[in-house]
Amino acid sequence: MLAMFVRLATAAATAGLVLAGGAQAQEMAPDALVKSVTLEVVDIIQNDKDIQKGDRKKVIALIETKVLPHFNFQAMTASAVGRNWDKASADQKARLMDEFKTLLLRTYASALAAYGNQKFDFRPLRAKPTDTDVTVNVRIMQSGSQPVTIDYDMEKRPGGWKVWDVRVGGISLVANYRTQFDNLIREGGVEGLIKALYAKNNSLEQPSVAGAQKK
Amino acid sequence: MMNRWARIVFLALLLTVAAGCATTNGGDARDPIEGFNRAMFSFNDGFDQAIARPVATAYREVLPAPVRGWVRNFFANIADLWIGANNLLQGKPADTVTDWARFAFNSTFGIFGLNDVASEMGLEKHNEDFGQTLGRWGVGDGAYIVWPFLGSSTVRDSVGLIPDIHFDPVLRHKPTGVRYFMAGTRGVSKRADLLDASRIMEEAALDKYVFQRDAHLQRRRSLIYDGNPPRAGREVSRAEEPASGAGKGLEAAVRLLEQPASPAVSTGG
């Protein structure tokens, strides 16, 4: 009787663990999370024939399912828009987030298309276990040039660690949009910025990015 | 060479001062000569699209990757000498030792620098120039300047270009025929390495000029601090930063004083 109870309890616990698989991933340390997502995405890119041939839709789908869930777009958009964020209505905020997300998604896809087997160096995390706001450092090694640093600013959120800024070679993605957003809002208000982002995203449909695939 | 550069820099300084007095409303405090810069930017962009990019693309199509690697490494190796000197000037002798050891290993075992064996040995390449040295010494950026052909710079980095060019082994090379060939090849090699980056930038930018300017200024700041600039606050917008160029320089100087020199030395690990 007792043995059976234990077995049942174990089975239940195992099932619980399996169900909580998603939640378990969310509790991963930030540096471990960056490493596992990076290696997984790179592995898929290198082994997917369609992507190797330049299938952009597939790259975008890959980023959407594997990478984007770890980004806090609300924080990224708010930070890029800066002091004008409070002036936007809830509806405008949602549309801003949507367009900014699309722009970053496309940019990310192009950056991945340019990836050519460089080695990664995942730096040990310099943070206390109690920290809720950390920077994860990754470096891309290339012969004949200084390693390119990629720094992920991450914050601990209820749903796990989320990226709120990425710095490539010291250039913050969020900060680099601040002046451009500011200028567009000054010229045409929040609506003007949304319109410009929309136009940008839809102009990107045409140019062939497949050419970048050439090594 | 030297004289011509000195004159150009002097002219730019005059221009900067003149334009600085006439800053218009809504302009960026870091970019008082935006009108001039935008004109230079479109000139450079036109040159890039008509000549530099097609030549660099052809270079990438024609030469196999290993050969392009040799070219890149060859010029990177020559540059390590001046990089080491700058690290010395910045009070980072350990980095200087790395840079000069890289030069020694790559010039011999790497066969005239064609192979970057030093990186494989764990001697990492650094990125230094005299503009960064001045920055390390506490000199602020000064106004943003776009030079024809050379592209994005600042007043401080333009001054830094004078010793950079003067001590560039490629530009000192004689006979001049070989010098121009080498300088040209280096330029094409560098542009070819940036083909992907420039394409991505064009896709990402809403305003190419502003995107490039802001990226350049962020990049230079990061380089001066060897990749570890003081972390900026999350919600700080441009409007909240000090507006005057002088204030910025002072702020940078204060930050430099606050930052211990040691983290820069321990980058090798």
- Each residue's pLDDT tens digit, A60-75: 999 999 999 999 999 9
Q: Does residue B131 sit in helix, strand or coil?
A: helix
pLDDT beyond 70 at A7: no
Give me the residue from B197, B206, B235 closest to A200, CB to CB.
Answer: B206
How far from each other are the two terminal CA atoms of chain B, in whole angstroms?
Answer: 40
- Judging contacts by C-beta atoms under 8 Å, the chain A residues touching residue B26 are 186
Complex-level ipTM beyond the 0.90 threshold: no
Long-range contacts at A50-56 (CB < 8 A, ≥ 24 apart):
A52/A213, A53/A213, A54/A113, A54/A209, A54/A210, A54/A212, A54/A213, A56/A109, A56/A113, A56/A209, A56/A210
Average pLDDT over residues B211-227: 95
Q: How confident is the model at residue B26 (pLDDT cuts 50, 70, 90)?
A: low
pLDDT at residue B142 in the model: 96
A199 CA: distance to closest CA in chain B (Å)? 10
pLDDT at residue A12 in the model: 52
Give pTM, 2 decimals. 0.80
- Judging contacts by C-beta atoms under 8 Å, the chain A residues touching residue B240 are 83
d(C-alpha B143, C-alpha B37), whole Å: 11
- Give per-residue pLDDT as tens, A136-154: 999 999 888 889 999 999 9
d(C-alpha A131, C-alpha A128), whole Å: 5
Q: How far is CA A184 from CA A174, A177, A196, A204, B246, in A?
A: 15, 11, 8, 19, 28
Of A30, A25, A29, A23, whose CA–CA distance to A163 is shortest?
A: A30
Residue with more model confidence, A1 or B90: B90
Q: How confident is the model at residue A118 (pLDDT cuts 50, 70, 90)?
A: confident
Least confident of A34-48, A59-73, B221-235: B221-235
Q: Does residue A153 sit in helix, strand or coil?
A: strand
**Amino acid letter, residue A104:** L
d(C-alpha B174, C-alpha B1), whole Å: 14
Per the CB < 8 A criterion, the answer to whether A138 and A31 are in contact is no
Residue with more model confidence, A27 or B90: B90
B227-254 core/surface letters (b: 16 or more CB in 10 A; e: else): bebeeeeeeebbeeeeeebeebbeebee
pLDDT at residue A204 in the model: 63
Selected residue of A74, A137, A176, A204 to mutate for chain B interface (largest B Cβ count, 10 A): A176
d(C-alpha B176, C-alpha A169), whole Å: 35
pLDDT at residue B232 in the model: 58
pLDDT at residue A82 in the model: 93
Largest CA distance in chain B: 58
Provide the CA A195 distance to its chain's centre, in angstroms.
24
Give me the residue from A144, A164, A183 closest to B207, CB to CB.
Answer: A183
d(C-alpha B256, C-alpha B234), whole Å: 21
